[in-house]
């Protein structure tokens, strides 16, 4: 009889522990995979012979480009468990390209922070709550480019290029200058851009989230995955 009770108790404990871990894993774990817009196998234009690719002449690049609905912005936070990604799937903006005079270029992107999601509604409510992004009061985050460095004058279609974008990232009406390390690829009439920078919770008047079981680092990696068309 005692053996039977012991086995039953162990079984119940296993179920409770397993269920508790599953709940913890769901709440604390990552549920978002960052999508790439530049193929991992894409070759840098610097390593491709000029005669091996079709040149993207300035006439194809210069002009007003508009961010397309497929574009996304990701926020990545490393916790004591793993790196958690938060997806912003509502992005709008424009980029005026001038390959001959990059100093004349202008670009701006706006993210609707009210639709940020991490695959966990409870966590999302916390991220968008008054103690964090306060999206009810500040429904948008904006990045305005001030300068492009090492921007190439010559592009090859299907080959990626590298450059940096420095500008002002405004979140909760707090403006901070940041630099995105970036890559772009022109192919079949579309311009795909990837970039990343690191900010902190403290930069924007927030505390890094933590609980008894989980603690997050202060750094937040902001990653751009943009698709633009003329």
pLDDT over threshold 80, residue 128: yes
pLDDT over threshold 80, residue 3: no
DSSP state for residue 136 in the 8-state scheme = T
Domain positions in the chain:
1-30, 31-229
Mean pLDDT, the chain, rounded, equals 86
Task: Determine the pLDDT at residue 209.
Answer: 76
pLDDT over threshold 60, residue 18: no
Encode pLDDT of 139-155 as tens digits. Answer: 999 999 999 999 998 88
Three-state SS at 202: helix
Please state which of the four CATH numbers 2.20.28.10, 3.30.43.10, 2.40.128.110, 3.40.50.300 is assigned to the domain occupying 31-229: 2.40.128.110
Of the chain, the percentage scoring pLDDT greater than 90 comes to 68
CB burial string 152-186: b at 16+ within 10 A, e below: beebbbbbbbebebebebbbbeeeeeebbebbbbb
pTM: 0.84
Task: Determine the pLDDT at residue 106.
Answer: 97
């Amino acid at each position: 009889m005692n053996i039977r009770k012991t086995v039953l108790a162990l079984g119940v404990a296993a179920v409770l522990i397993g269920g508790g871990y599953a709940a913890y894993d769901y709440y604390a774990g990552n549920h978002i995979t960052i999508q790439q817009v530049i193929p991992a196998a894409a070759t840098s234009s610097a390593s491709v012979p000029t005669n091996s690719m079709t040149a993207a002449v300035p006439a194809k690049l210069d002009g007003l480009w508009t961010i397309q609905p497929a574009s996304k912005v990701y926020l990545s936070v490393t916790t004591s468990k793993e790196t958690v990604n938060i997806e912003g799937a509502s992005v709008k903006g424009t980029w005026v390209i001038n390959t001959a005079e990059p100093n004349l270029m202008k670009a701006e992107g706006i993210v609707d922070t009210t639709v940020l999601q991490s695959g966990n509604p409870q966590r999302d409510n916390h991220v968008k709550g008054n103690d964090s992004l306060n999206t009810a009061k500040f429904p948008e985050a904006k990045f305005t480019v001030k300068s492009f460095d090492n921007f190439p004058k010559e592009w090859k279609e299907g080959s990626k290029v590298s450059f940096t974008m420095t500008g002002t990232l405004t979140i909760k009406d707090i403006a901070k200058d940041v630099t995105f390390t970036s890559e772009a690829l022109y192919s079949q009439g579309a311009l795909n851009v990837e970039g990343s920078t690191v900010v902190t919770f403290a930069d924007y008047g927030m505390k890094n989230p933590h609980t008894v079981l989980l603690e997050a680092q202060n750094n937040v990696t902001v990653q751009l995955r943009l698709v633009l068309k003329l």
